Structure 1
C-alpha cells in the first residue's frame, strides 16, 4: 500500500479541514496517509510568530494584517518567506518514507518548503498544492511544485497567471456529510439538536474557528433587518460567546463539532472569510453572502467570489436588508460540479512520476 504525506498548518481550521478530507478520500482509495502540522516542523520561535502574529494582527490591528498580506504578495518578499521557513527542511525530509509516492500541501508556506526541496532534488516524489482559498496569494506559488489544485475556475486562471505549474481544476475537498436536508422533518430535527428556534428564517453568522472580525456587529445588523434570526458560531472565542449570550435576539454557539447538521438547520450563511465554511455551505445547498470580510485574505476572497458570480459581497450596511431579503426569497440549490475528485488528481500525479 502506497503512502501520501499531507502537510497543513493549524492556523484557523480551513487548512486542516481540507487536509482531513483529502486524507479520508485517499484512504478510501487504498492509500495510507499521514497528516503533519507545519508549525510543529518549524523552529518554535517562528511557529509562535506565525500563530500569535496572525491572531493579534487581525484582532488588534487589522490594517497591519492587510499591509502584511500586500507586502508578501510580491516576488521578493515571497522569496524571503520561502527562505524563512527553511528550518523545516530536514524534518520534512524525515517524514518521507520508502513507500511515499506524493507529498501534499494545504498551506502556502508548506508549498514553499516542499517546492524548494523538490526543485533542488532532495525530495524525489511529486509535490501537490491544494489551494484552500479562492484568491491566490503569491506565497502559494512555488517553483518545484508539480501540481496545483484549484476549486474554482477563477482560482485556476489566477494560479496560472502567477506561474503555477500543472494547474488543475478540481472539486472541493468537502465531506459528503455536507448535503442538503432531505425533508422538513430533518430540518426540524437539526434545529432541535442545537436548540434553535423551530420556526422563522435563521442566518448563520460565521467568522472562522477563532471568531475573528466583527461577528457581533454583523449579527446585530442582521437581527436589525427583522428578516432572520442570527445564529452566531463563536468558535474558540469564549469571550465572544459570553458577550453574545447577553444580547437579545441572537443565538450564540460556541465550538461546533457537527457543522453538517447545523448547516441543515439554517436558511442562509453570512461569512467573512471565504474559505472552507463557504464551500461547505454551498455543498449543503445554502445561499451564502459575504459581509464585513476580514482584511487580507478575507477581502481578497470576497472580491474573487463576487466577481465570479459565486457569492455576493455586501459592501455597505445599507445594502444588507435588500440583499438579505432577495437572497432569502430565492431558492438555493447545490451547484453542479463535474470537476475531478482532488484525491484522484493527487493519485494521477503520483502515478505519473
Structure 2
C-alpha cells in the first residue's frame, strides 16, 4: 500500500442520503490529506436501465405500495449472506466493479449502501482489498453483514450490539455515528440566516422536509391545518427535487406570509440551525442531521421498512414523535409549543445520541487500520472461464 491510500467509495442513489454520506466521507479524506478518493454509484454504472426502473419503483412505493416494500424488507431482514437470494443480490455489478478495480487499483473500498459486491469478489475471485461498511440507518438489515467485511461503522451502541449478535466480533465494529458534513456539528443560528431564507426573526420556525424526491403525502393539508391552528410560528417547507410539488405549494400558499416554500436546499444545516422543530421522513441521514443540530423531530407517516424502524428507534429513545396524519401532527406541535420543558427533554435525549465529528471518526479509524496492514495486495486476474 502506498503512503497515501487510494479510496473507492461505493454508494447507490436511492434517495439522496447515501450520496450525502459518501460525499461527507470523501470530504473528510481530503481534509486529512488523502486526495485520491473515487465515488461510484455502482448499480447505476453497471445496470443503468434496471437502476432507473428500481429507483422509480422505490419512489412510487412510498405513495402506492408501502406495505409491499415493508414486507420485502422484513422478509429479508435476517436472511444470511449465503442464502440463494442474497447471492443473487450480491452479484449485481460484479463485472463492472471488477473492471473498475483493475483500472483504478484502490487500496481500500467503503460501502455506504448494502450491496456486498466487493465482498462477493473477495470471496469468489481471490481479490484481497480491505472493505469497510458504513451503515446509514438506525436499524440493522442482514444485507449489511458479510464475513468478508473488515470493519463496520454504526450509528449507536444498540446497533453495535445488533451486529455483534450476528456473529461479528466487537473489535470489528466502531460506534462512529452516521457520516455527516462538519457544518451539521454545532450549527450556529443567526439573524443573517433567517434573512437569507426570508424568515421573520420573532417567530418560531417549523421546518418541514418532504425528502429529496418530495414524496411526503398530505403536505398541503398538513400546512393548511397548521395555519388554521393559529399558532405563532412560521413554516419552512423544503420540497427537495420535486419541482411540481414546489410549484403546487407556492400557488397554494401564495397568500400566507408565514409559509415559506423552497426547492432543493444544499445548505439545509442553515435552516435546521434556525428551526425549533423538524417534520420529516425518517431517512437515516436526515435524522442524523437533525440529531446533530439538536433539533426535536416529528416523523410523519413513516412507511414500513427501514423508515419505520428508524422512527420506532428514535421514539423509544425519546428523541422523536410519530405523526400518522395532519391532525396528530398538529396535536404534537401544539403540545410541544405549549410545554417548553417537554421540548427541552427531547433535546436532552437527542444530546445523548449525538456523535461528534462522525465523518472524521470513520476516516481516521480507516486510515489507522490501513497503516496497521503491512501486506500488499494485488487484484488477481480472473481465471479463464470464470463467471466473474
TM-score (norm 2): 0.80
Q: Which residue of 2 aligns with 1:114?
A: 118
Q: Which residue of 1 aligns with 2:32?
A: 29
Give the 5 Å matches for 1:57-72: 57-72=61-76
Answer whether contact 1:89 1:113 (CA < 8 A) is retained.
yes
Q: Which residue of 1 aligns with 2:215?
A: 212
Deviation at 1:328, TM superposition (A): 5.2
Tell me, yes or no, if structure 1 residue 260 matches structure 2 residue 269: yes
Between 305-314 and 47-56, the greater mean CA deviation after superposition:
305-314
Q: Which residue of 2 aligns with 1:145?
A: 149
Q: Pick from 288, 298, 312: which aligns with 2:297?
A: 288
Render the CA deviation track for 1:178-215: whole Å, top value 9, x for unaligned: 24454xxx522111111123321111111320112326
Q: Pick from 315, 332, 337: which aligns with 1:325?
A: 337
Q: Which residue of 2 aligns with 1:171?
A: 177
Give the 5 Å matches for 1:70-85: 70-75=74-79, 79-85=84-90
Between 11-20 and 274-283, the greater mean CA deviation after superposition:
274-283
Give the 5 Å matches for 1:154-165: 154-164=158-168
Q: Which residue of 2 aligns with 1:195?
A: 198
Answer whether contact 2:5 2:108 (CA < 8 A) is retained.
no
CA spacing shift, 1:20–1:327, aligned 2, 3 Å? farther
Q: Which residue of 2 aligns with 1:343?
A: 363
Q: Work out the CA distance in 1 between the residues paired with 2:367 and 2:218.
A: 39
Number of residues paired by the alignment? 348
Unaligned runs of 5+ in 1: none
Render the CA deviation track for 1:37-63: whole Å, top value 9, x for unaligned: 022233234312321110121232222
Q: Pick from 83, 86, 90: which aligns with 2:91?
A: 86
Deviation at 1:300, TM superposition (A): 1.0
Q: Please give the secondary structure, in 1, of the residue aligned with 2:73.
A: helix
TM-score (norm 1): 0.88
Q: Work out the CA distance in 2 between the residues paired with 1:133 and 1:154.
A: 12
CA spacing shift, 1:171–1:65, aligned 2, 3 Å? closer
Q: Work out the CA distance in 1 between the residues paired with 2:233 and 2:84.
A: 47
Tell me, yes or no, if structure 1 residue 39 matches structure 2 residue 19: no
Deviation at 1:312, TM superposition (A): 3.6
Between 262-271 and 3-12, the greater mean CA deviation after superposition:
262-271
Q: Work out the CA distance in 2 between the residues paired with 1:299 and 1:25.
A: 30
Answer whether contact 1:306 1:313 (CA < 8 A) is retained.
yes
Q: Work out the CA distance in 1 between the residues paired with 2:15 and 2:208.
A: 16
Render the CA deviation track for 1:197-245: whole Å, top value 9, x for unaligned: 3321111111320112326044445445425322111001122212222
Between 188-197 and 303-312, the greater mean CA deviation after superposition:
303-312
Deviation at 1:88, TM superposition (A): 1.0
CA RMSD of aligned residues (A): 2.7
Answer whether contact 1:220 1:250 (CA < 8 A) is retained.
no
Answer whether contact 2:296 2:319 (CA < 8 A) is retained.
no
Between 54-63 and 212-221, the greater mean CA deviation after superposition:
212-221
Larger RCO of the pair (alpha carbons < 8 Å, separation 6+): 2
CA spacing shift, 1:220–1:154, aligned 2, 3 Å? farther
Q: Which has the larger radius of gyration?
A: 2
